[in-house]
Structure 1
Amino acid sequence: MESESVTTPFGRRPMSLAMLLKQRRGEAITAGTTRNKWKLFRSVCEARAGLDVTDRALTVLDALLSFYPEDELSSERGLVVFPSNMQLSLRARGMAAATLRRHLAVLVEAGLISRKDSPNGKRYIRRNREGGIGEAYGFSLAPLLARAGEIEAIAARIAADRQMLRGMKERLTICRRDIAKLVAAAIEEAIPGDWEHVSSMLHALLQRIPRAATLENLPPILEELETIRLGIINSLESLNKSHLASTNESQIERHIQNSNPESASEPGLETGQEANGHPKPRAGLERREPGMAGRDGKGSRAMVRTNAGKLKSFPLGMVLQACPDIVDYGPGGTIASWRDLMMAAVVVRSMLGVSASAYEEAASVMGPETAATVMACILQRGGHINSAGGYLRNLTQRAERSEFALGPMLMALLRTRERFKVLPEAGGQQVNVGKEPEVPARQNGGR
């Protein structure tokens, strides 16, 4: 400890009970307490709002710490620094003397430093016979070291609050974006609902967001926004489930009736009436309007979107049942959603040598889910296809001409799976269960 006595201020500065208490608290340093001065200074900067000090005052504290000769603050080596006003002003980035005195008073008032005035008010040291420091007068850093634990706790709390506030702002931004885009999509696709009311509610909530967001005023607004978003998602999902329940059965049944797994070029993957040697009628194509005839026309793209909407109506479970090989390429070796299937299709596309442009064109024409399903079918019958990229481009062109249906392709693979099953008694090999087993002739002349 520096001194067990009380130091009164020099000159006309009065003594107060608060100054006495701050001095005594600065003297109460636990034995063996040390801190790296620059790490402790960073904690002070972090806890600046909780310590009620300004950034200019921290500049002066930085200058005072630079006069302490050691990196470790310790009461065993003395904690008083005694720079002159000129030297302190230079290290404080040329701060004026009057400004310097004002910010020194702020540090003293905040309880980070204390004054140890000499009899004449000057800052100096008196050395002993061994050459060491016998007595020092100036500014004591003892309060800073005594409050090190408190300062570090305040800094940790402020850092945690800042990180939490940043996370809440990010959640609010994402939630606001989700609501706005979901409402816009619902209005564009004419989904029933009071979307104008939802938009007005969103606008009113956004007007309530304060300029200076805090952990006290932001959570209620975020909670209301998340409630609105959850309500929109639930409404859209319930509508989608009811739509799928009413359309999947009829669409799958129609595809089964029109399917023909036989093919002349790629076994099990050709579709339509061409598989029976009868070309698919193209009267509908001949009667197209001029706006729908061109490859790049708006009518053609509208027709493609309609076809894609029909093709991707097959359940994911049916696709995986027909094409089980694609599962090994999903995230973690599993496919639980359409997104997983599309990620696996990208991996398979690269493995089979299909160019990115060919796959992107297929996705734009057929739809991303249908293109991923087609890649799964190509992988399943990879041994029968010489060029996966050329085959995919051919299917894409046929889809643009409305000559491609996904149902027959899936049904062909499903029938192949049913016909060739892996039986345990066959040693893990595929067995043609559709073929009648041969009856061995009886021995000893039996018929």
Structure 2
Amino acid sequence: MQLASSGGRRLRHAALVARELALETGRTVTRKELSAAAREAAKALNLKSGARWVLSELVACWGEQEWDRLLVWPSNDYLVTRTGKSERAIRAAFRVLIDLQLIVPKESPNGKRYAVKDLAGEIIDAFGFDLTPVYARRGEWAERLIEQKQAREARKRAFDEITIARRAAEEALSALAEHHPELDRSDLEEQVKGLKARTPARSMKVMPHDALDQWTALRRACEEAFLKAGNGGEIRRHTNNNNGSPSEPCNKSFPKKAEAVRSIEQTSEHLS
């Protein structure tokens, strides 16, 4: 879309979508409620500092008017003073907030931002920015924050499992070197070294599924190598020599006389 002759901004699809969002009928919004919604939106969308500060200052300008739209009209000079950002950075933040459907520009005939007053001096309308989408989407912010928390917890568990598997693999190789120094373990040690170099750091916001699978397999290989070394190169299973039936009572072989004595000496009152 071309720039308007009045000097207005380019029309964006996101602005048209956000314009459809509305408050519940008869809903009044306080600055505190709007500020809370803006903070959750900034967290849910991972806003950078510039856009986050500009959004915070726009919210601070809300005068709690009982309108069906949350309109604010601060000048760029005011926002530059409040945020310490350049006017270019302020304009860039506007584009980010509009594209993310957080604010909607409401253009005036001359492209400036100002309030419209009636004959009594009461503000009845304004040209500037509409913050209604920030508050109207508060349910979405809550859902996103829950999903992000769950993802962080799942990522933490995955990295914890990687740490456990890595330590177990290194312990198995250490035990193999101590008890069976004659055996060649260089291949496993190279695999551990290479996998440690490829494993992402905890600070990286990625799910280390592949690394976890590789560490689990490598741990198993190291422990089996130590197990085979202790069994002369073979993995031996535990032999169960108990051939009795599990359904037979443990007093099957009691002598009849002893059984009779036991029944006489211990009455039913002693049984729990």
Please state how far the C-alpha of 1:131 moved relative to its aligned partner: 5.7
CA distance in 1, matches of 2:52, 2:197: 37
Structure 2 counterpart of 1:25: 18
Report the structure, 1 or 2, having the larger helix content: 1
- Out of 213, 216, 219, the position equivalent to 2:209 is 219
CA distance in 2, matches of 1:168, 1:38: 35
Equivalent residue letter for 1:44: A
Structure 2 counterpart of 1:230: 220
TM-score after normalising by structure 2: 0.69
CA distance in 2, matches of 1:29, 1:63: 21
Structure 2 counterpart of 1:204: 194
Structure 2 counterpart of 1:67: 61
The verdict on how the C-alpha distance between 1:235 and 1:34 changes in structure 2, with shifts beyond 3 A counting, is farther
CA distance in 1, matches of 2:90, 2:68: 27
Please state how far the C-alpha of 1:108 moved relative to its aligned partner: 1.9
Tell me the percent identity: 24
- Out of 73, 83, 96, the position equivalent to 2:86 is 96
CA distance in 2, matches of 1:59, 1:101: 13
Q: Quick check: 2:38–2:134 contact (8 Å CA) kept in 1?
A: no
Q: Which of the pair has more CA radius of gyration?
A: 1
The verdict on how the C-alpha distance between 1:121 and 1:101 changes in structure 2, with shifts beyond 3 A counting, is same
Note the residue ranges of structure 1 that are not aligned, 5 or more in a row. Answer: 1-7, 246-422, 429-447
Please state how far the C-alpha of 1:219 moved relative to its aligned partner: 0.8
The verdict on how the C-alpha distance between 1:48 and 1:89 changes in structure 2, with shifts beyond 3 A counting, is same
Structure 1 counterpart of 2:140: 150
Q: 1:19-67 CA deviation, whole Å, 9 max, x = no partner?
A: 4x62353233252578722332232222234xxx532111111111111
Question: How many residue pairs were aligned?
Answer: 234
Residue 11 of structure 1 pairs with residue 11 of structure 2: no
Q: Quick check: 1:175–1:225 contact (8 Å CA) kept in 2?
A: yes
CA distance in 2, matches of 1:172, 1:34: 50
Q: 1:289-329 CA deviation, whole Å, 9 max, x = no partner?
A: xxxxxxxxxxxxxxxxxxxxxxxxxxxxxxxxxxxxxxxxx
SS of the aligned residue for 2:127 comes to strand
SS of the aligned residue for 1:47 comes to helix
CA distance in 2, matches of 1:103, 1:28: 21
Q: Quick check: 2:80–2:86 contact (8 Å CA) kept in 1?
A: yes
- Out of 114, 118, 128, the position equivalent to 2:118 is 128
Residues 276-295 of structure 1 aligned to structure 2 (within 5 Å): none
Structure 2 counterpart of 1:87: 78
Residues 119-198 of structure 1 aligned to structure 2 (within 5 Å): 119-128=109-118, 132-190=122-180, 194-198=184-188
Aligned-pair RMSD on alpha carbons? 3.7
Note the residue ranges of structure 2 that are not aligned, 5 or more in a row. Answer: 240-264
Q: Quick check: 2:15–2:105 contact (8 Å CA) kept in 1?
A: no
